[in-house]
Structures are given as structure tokens and as C-alpha cells.
Amino acid sequence: MGKEIRFSLVYRDMWQSSGKYVPRVDQLTQIAPVIIDMGCFDRVETNGGAFEQVNLLFGENPNKAVREWTAPFNKAGIQTHMLERALNGIRMNPVPADVRRLMFKVKQAQGTNIARSFCGLNDPRNLELSIKYAREAGMISQAALCITHSPVHTVDYYSGLADKLVDMGAQEICLKDMAGIGRPTFLGQLTKMIKERHPDVKVEYHGHTGPGFSTASMLEVAKAGADYLDVAMEPLSWGMVHPDVITIQAMLKEAGFLVKDINMDAYMEARRLTQSFMDDFLGYFIDSSNKQMSSLLVGCGLPGGMMGSMMADLKGMHNAINMALRQHKKKEVTFNDLVVQLFNEVAYVWPRLGYPPLVTPFSQYVKNVALMNIFSMAKGEPRFSNIDKDSWNMILGRMGQLPGELAPEIHKVIKEKELEFYTGNPQDAYPDALPTYRAEMEANGWELGKDEEELFELAMHDRQYRDYKSGIAKQRFEQELEQAKIKAGAPIFVERPVVEVPNIDAEGLLKAHPGALAIQAPTAGQVLWQVDVTGPSTSPTIGTPVKKKEPFCWVQNAYGLEPVYPAADGNLIQVDVPQGKAVQKNQVLGFVLAD
């Protein structure tokens, strides 16, 4: 009889890689018994990543969602696992150590059995506390290796990292092939080496299907001794997501492995329910491009889950780039030309930034630097003229050590800007914060919650939690859903008026007002000229004075409110976007005439 291979259903990541939202708790508890009835899963990925943030954006209590979602799997003897980002916990920016420690305590109490921890830079210093705190809380610590393909990311590099993580106490190793660009033979060799050195350590493979390698990779790692494979199910499998359990089960069974049978009646019912969740509302937030695979990903190495947002960023920048090209008497580019240009620019930028693995949030940083390079060059400026704060934090070591060396041209910019490298342990830069949040909860009369889970949510997602408690989050989501339905042509009733602002001739405005400065969205999301969305939908009036250090407006994205600041003090001379409208990253929101 062949070696047994077990399956984990990545039901959270299926949605995460497809669109903006995941199902509500009532939907999750509806499908849980059907997933159990399928009979082929030993594990289910239930939470982590952006899961709790999405609940808060819905106006739901994420702690209730995790407890109710994990409960049926716990009862059935199916292990549940979460994804967490080490230094960043389950958000996009660094987390104080005391909040990280509380996270594992809370998640274990809520029914999560396994903590899959990854550092986007593969810095073991960032993973050490995750391993320690997970085991201390009674969870299984599964440390992830973020897989990518570069001259510095060799089998020896990864196997050495696995050795360090096992020595730190990791009980399992995950090969997190987030872009699906790990070559099958490479992954097989790595799995074999890990299993030879650590025969008692379980190895789990997680690979996205975007460039098409992952099915072959699953066969290779299975042959090399892997224990678990992450799989998806229709209608969300394939595309930029993960291989479907039916195909992988059939492939492994024919190859002589011992795999569990699939209850196809239950599979079809789970498929139907998943589709019904999409039809209900989730499909409005799924980019159709994420259902397609692309060989172009082999070259640029970007993860499939961010392709939709990247295309949206490009659409938002297309006109601005062409305007800059026209002003400098250069040939304009088509959108398809721009896509290829961005892929090529990522390939140029990535090694010069020290080969950070292209996984959240570092994939976004590399993409952002590449996109701004294209814009800068269109304006006749040199590469790396405009680098955002988060990307600088990555470059300067505040988030961990880069795998490779920075290029001389990056060092030149650092010297010109008189910036300094951070050489300490990244965690030390973020002091404990729980006492401050305890005081806030006491002042507001808020309960700490069972196992202090409410305290944890405030400390981990403070802005989103405050919006949830005030009721603004739910109202904002309902407004966003309303607008998504309008865009899709769905017949609905619109009760609140929306002020439409006509498009303007930006080129003509700049000729009339040479000193005008465009104000651009820092992220994709929903424009809020006022944070209280319960009030009337109004945009600011022309002539309104603005200050460089005061927010011009806000953009609501999946992770909270991003303030938008004007480039200078002055007066508003044009508004391009109405209250509540969805915008893309770098889309022009209006113009300010500087004082």
C-alpha cells in the first residue's frame, strides 16, 4: 500500500484569492457540515489572514464568526488552521509582541488548532515568537517557507531555513508557494531534504495555480514525502486560486498513493452552496480575471491573488501615464502594452530590491515601486524617484532582513535622501500596547470578551473595530454593496442620493492653471469625503482651502481608512470623484491650486 496523502481545504484562501470578501458567518456554518460530509478532508483552513478584517468590514463580530465556523470541524475531528504573518500578525503592518502573544491564546480558545506562520522575508527572527507563542497556547506550530524562484532562493537556502525553524520548535513545515512559481523538481528536492533531516516533521504544500506548475508540483512533493496538500473546490478552484481536490485525488490515486474517497453528492452540494454565496453578494467583488491562468506569471513571479488588484491599479494609472507621455512628446501606450511593461519592470525592480519573496505585503511593495517607476519615467524622471513609506520600511530593514543585496542605484537614493538602515530585531521597534487598549475599552465601557477576544480584536484591528462598534462599518458595507449592484446592473432600490461629478478635461485644466496639483488615491477603495457615511452624500465645494498636513479625504479599502493628503497648502479647484465612488490606486480625485 502506498504512502497516505491527506488533504486540507483552503476555504478561506479560496475566497481571499478570488475577491475582496469571504462568506458571512451564517453562510460558513451552513456549508461546514457539507464539507465534513465530503469525507476527504483532514484539515480545513478556517481563518486568519484578512478573515477577521472582513468580518469587521461587514459589521460582524469576528470572534463569533471564528468560534461558530470552527466548532463543527472540531466536533468531527477535522483539524482547523489559520494563516498569520509573523511580525504582522493578521494585518498588513507590524504588531506589538504582547498583541501577537494574545492572538494565539485567543485563536486556540476559539477552536483553531494549527497556526501557519509566515514571514514575507523568510526572516527567522520574525517567526521565532510565532512558534513560541503558538506552542505556548497549545496550538500546533506550522512554520512556512515563502517559496519563490531566484538566484538566492536555492534548495540549500530553504532547507537551512527549515532547520532553524525546527530548532526553534516548529512542529510542521509548510511550503508556501504563494505565486505558484516554484518549479516542481525543485520543490521535490526541497521536500526530500527536509524529510531526510526531520523525518518526524509534517510537510504541507500550498501552491496557487496561476502559472500552471502546481499540479505537477503536488505530484513531485508527494513522491518526495509530503504529508498534506492544500486543495480547493469548484466554483473557486483553478484560475489564480488552487487545484481542485477531484483532480489531485485522482492523480495521486492513479500514482499509487493512499487517498480518501470523495463523497460526490456532498461535493456537488458544497459547490452549489458556494455558488449561491457568490450569487447572493460575494460575486460582485470577484474579479473575473482571477478565473484565468497566465504563463506571464512565470516571468514576473507575482502571486495570482493580487492580479485583479494589479490590473485595477493599471487601469487607474493608464490615462495619467499617457498624459505624461503626451506632455513629453512621447508615444502613448495601450493597456496591453502597459501590462507587459509592468511585468518587465517588476522583473527589473525585484532583484534590485534584494529579492523579497513576492507575498503579502511585499508583493504589493515591489509592484508599487515598479508602477511608480513607469509613471516617473513617463514624466521624464529617473527610476526610484517616488517610493512609498511602507516600501522604504522594507528596504531599510524595519520589517526584516532582505534575502539579497540592494543594488547600487538603491544605495545611491538612500544616501541622497539621508536615510538610515535599521539593524535591530524588527519586533523591538514596536513596543507592547495592550495596556493602552485595555484603558480604551474601559473608558468606552466595552467588555474585554471571552478569553479577552474583544480586547484582541481592538488591539489587532483598531480602526476597523471602532467602526464595527459604532455601526459605521455595517452602513459603509451596505453602501458599497449597493453601488456594486448598480455597477453590475442589478435591479435594486437606491434610497440615498449620490452626487455625480462630471469628468473633466485634466489637460485643459492644467493649461489654465499651470500650478495645479493632482490629488491621487493612495490605494484602491471607496472615496469618503466624510467618514460618517450616515449623512448626506456630498463632495466638498470648489474653493475649499486645504492643508498639506490635513487629510483631503479618505479611501476605504479592505484594511481600513487611508487618509489622502494634498501635496501643498492651497484651494480646491476641481473635484473628480463623488462621495462613495469606487476608485483605483493613483486615480485622480481632484486638483488643488497651491498658495
**What one-character-per-residue DSSP string does 370-423 give?**
HHHHHHHHHTTPPTTS---HHHHHHHTTTT---SSPBPHHHHHHHHHTT-----
Antiparallel, parallel or unpaired: β 582-583 and 525-528: antiparallel
Nearest CA to 104 among 131, 70, 122? 131
* pLDDT at site 183: 97
Please report which confidence band the pLDDT of residue 386 belongs to, taking 50, 70 and 90 as the band edges.
confident
CA distance 199 to 194: 8
The Cβ of residue 77 has, within 10 Å, a number of other Cβ atoms equal to 8
| Most confident stretch, 186-195, 470-479, 542-551 | 186-195
Q: Read off φ and ψ for residue 44, nearest 5 degrees.
A: -140, 130
* Residue showing cell 493512499: 258
Whether 179 and 304 have beta carbons less than 8 Å apart is answered as: yes
pLDDT digits (tens, 9 = 90+) for 107-140: 999 999 999 999 999 999 999 999 999 999 999 9
Q: Which helix (H) or strand (E) holds 439?
A: helix 434-444
Q: Say whether pLDDT at 304 is over 60.
A: no
* pLDDT at site 127: 98
* Residue showing cell 477577521: 52
Check whether domain 506-594 has CATH 2.102.10.10, yes or no: no
* pLDDT at site 533: 42
Whether 313 and 364 have beta carbons less than 8 Å apart is answered as: no
Nearest CA to 208 among 218, 193, 222, 198? 218
Q: Say whether pLDDT at 537 is over 60.
A: no
* pLDDT at site 469: 95
* pLDDT at site 160: 97
Q: What angle do CA 22, 26, 28 make, to 5 degrees?
A: 50
The Cβ of residue 417 has, within 10 Å, a number of other Cβ atoms equal to 10
Please report which confidence band the pLDDT of residue 514 belongs to, taking 50, 70 and 90 as the band edges.
low
Distance from first CA to last CA of the chain, Å, rounded?
79
pLDDT digits (tens, 9 = 90+) for 193-229: 999 999 999 999 999 999 999 999 999 999 999 999 9
* pLDDT at site 92: 84
CA dihedral sign, ordered 178, 179, 184, 187 = negative
More confident: 562 or 153: 153
Whether 590 and 575 have beta carbons less than 8 Å apart is answered as: yes
Alpha-helical segments (H) within 59-154: 62-76, 97-110, 124-136
C-alpha cell at 569: 497648502
Alpha-helical segments (H) within 62-213: 62-76, 97-110, 124-136, 155-167, 184-197
> Where is average pLDDT lowest: 284-298, 408-422, 478-492?
478-492
* pLDDT at site 559: 53
CA of residue 79 relative to chain centroid, distance: 24
More confident: 527 or 448: 448
Q: What percent of the chain has pLDDT above 70?
A: 91
Please report which confidence band the pLDDT of residue 530 belongs to, taking 50, 70 and 90 as the band edges.
low
pLDDT digits (tens, 9 = 90+) for 430-485: 999 999 999 999 999 999 999 999 999 999 999 999 999 999 999 999 988 988 88
**What one-character-per-residue DSSP string does 489-514 give?**
T------S---------HHHHHHH-T
C-alpha cell at 355: 529579492
CA distance 94 to 385: 26
* CATH class of segment(s) 6-287: alpha beta
Instruction: Answer yes or no: same fold for 6-287 and 506-594.
Output: no
C-alpha cell at 408: 547600487
Whether 123 and 404 have beta carbons less than 8 Å apart is answered as: no
Mean pLDDT taken over the chain: 88
* pLDDT at site 287: 77
C-alpha cell at 132: 513560541
The Cβ of residue 281 has, within 10 Å, a number of other Cβ atoms equal to 17
* pLDDT at site 518: 78
> Where is average pLDDT lowest: 145-149, 161-165, 315-319, 328-332?
315-319
* pLDDT at site 523: 77
Question: Can you give the residue ranges of every domain in the chain?
Answer: 6-287, 296-428, 506-594
